[in-house]
Amino acid sequence: MGEIYLATDSKLQRKVAIKMMLHPEDDSDNKRFELESQAVASFSDPHTIRLFDYGITEEGHQYQVIEYLEGKNIKEHLRSHGPLHPTIAKSVAIQLCGSLSEAHRKNILHRDIKPSNIMLIDSPERGVQCKLLDFGLARSDNHDPTMTKTGTVLGSPMYMSPEQIESKSEELTPQTDVYSLGLTLYTMVTAKQPFSGSSLSSILASQLFHPPTPLVEVQPSLSIEPALCWAIETAIQKKPVDRFISVSQMKKAIELALQNPEATLILRDEELFCDDEFIQSYTSLSLQDISLAVDSMQSEQSDTTQQIADKKETDPPSKSPLLALGGLAIVGLIVGLVMSEQNSTEITIQPTVTSSVPSQEVKSTTATPQKSTLAIDVQSSPSGASIFVGANYMGITPMTLELPKKSDVTLQLKKEGFEDQVLEWPQNSGKMNVVLQPRAKGNDAIVSPTPKTSTSPNSEEKKPKNGVSSEKGVKKVTNPFE
């Protein structure tokens, strides 16, 4: 149906990918490609593939110019590296939930979430990042029913929801993406497909009637990750009503599992609880929410100042000028305290004394906050070593970390082919240079949880189109039409 080319934008001198619809089976394929372009163009989440351009060639072929991503998709990474470390898997899942939350907010369902539709990118500044690809099966509220043939099932059988299999297209909700994301996360932490079967019908039957093998049976090391296991098992419930009510709620559960792998999570009447504590909000504050909060604080401050002024007007006149001056000083102090609440500063006040001598001047000082963290620039020779704080993967060298001044956990560097390095916890901010020692032969082990990038040879050029020259077959790029 379609092909993907590696190309160079001749104007901006950057690599891009060109996705072309070359052999549509019917008009619905062309319409779906156009709707995918419109959907992706409306997204701004950093973990969604970016669309730069869309058009139709002189030969009548539709095309998209999308960002080129250096990395591997999750399916390829699992094949070469095995399961993702739970910490990285949780981080990737949180990023995917953010991407899907934006799509769902715009009433768009992805409907084809699977490992091969998620790219992993290793960023020295931000650690492992992901991008959600291929909205070719995305469906919006203004879905045209004629685009889906009667009896046609759209999606990937291994990861599609039971309601998708039953062709209940009109009944699909965001929880269908929750289910697919849950099965994808299952594969990420086990490197195994959730269902086994020698035929399509057996896989579909498992999707409809049988749960996957429990996670701890497939990957016993997950026994120390009960919160993550619960989140995955909740997402892949057969009935939508038993799943998370939204990807935002799922994201919150995984964030809690990241903070405390042994947390006790539960859903009660569609509400999330952590260690018996109700988790009230699933989404971040918007700019409007923040503005309303600031307005409320300013209103309270204005009301307090007005009450003080009213009280001053109703008080009887003082018999002593010195007492009057002392009263004004006290009012000034109270107003100063009210104003200081918004700035969160600590005030030290010298008492005002009313006596036969002139009143002392009131002084205030602001406490200087002490910085409780260290900025550490971690470098290694050779570079590219994975940095771990305790069991948490932080990124690769060189990288600047913000660490607490004291900690009971260890700081380690790991790199394939080299001995693990356990570092002393730094006492001051600065630079740490670590020389890695080669591992003895016959004792190699893969320690880096990050994906490796591949290189590509040159190939023949295509004719430029709209300032973009394409090269077919230059680099293996995952074909989302598979």
Determine contact, residues 99/45, Cβ cutoff 8 Å. yes
- In the set 9, 112, 134, 177, the catalytic residue is 112
The token pair that represents 184 in the structure block: 């994808």
Beta bridge partners of 303: none
d(CA 1, CA 423): 53
Q: How many CA atoms lie within 13 A of 253 on its CB side?
A: 30
Determine contact, residues 419/382, Cβ cutoff 8 Å. no
Burial classification of residue 114, based on how many CB atoms lie within 10 Å of its CB (0-12 exposed, 13-18 middle, 19 or more buried): buried
The token pair that represents 421 in the structure block: 């390095």
Determine contact, residues 131/100, Cβ cutoff 8 Å. no
Strand 386-389 relative to strand 411-414, pairing: antiparallel
- Tell me which residue of 87, 83, 78, 86 sits closest to 190, measured CA to CA: 83
End-to-end CA distance of the chain: 9
d(CA 101, CA 247): 6
Tell me: cis bond preceding 382? Omega within 30 of 0 counts: yes
d(CA 2, CA 21): 4
Beta bridge partners of 392: 389
For residue 382, CA distances in Å to 275, 396, 453 come to 44, 11, 17
d(CA 130, CA 49): 9
CB neighbourhood size of 124 (10 A): 12
Determine contact, residues 385/356, Cβ cutoff 8 Å. no
Angle at 169 between CA 214 and CA 107, to 5 degrees: 90
- Tell me which residue of 344, 349, 295, 351 sits closest to 326, measured CA to CA: 351
d(CA 168, CA 161): 10
CA 183 to the chain's CA centroid: 18
Q: Is 112 one of the catalytic residues?
A: yes
d(CA 138, CA 36): 7
d(CA 253, CA 263): 10
- Tell me which residue of 117, 156, 132 sits closest to 478, measured CA to CA: 117
Strand 265-268 relative to strand 271-274, pairing: antiparallel
Query: So which residues are the catalytic ones?
Result: 112
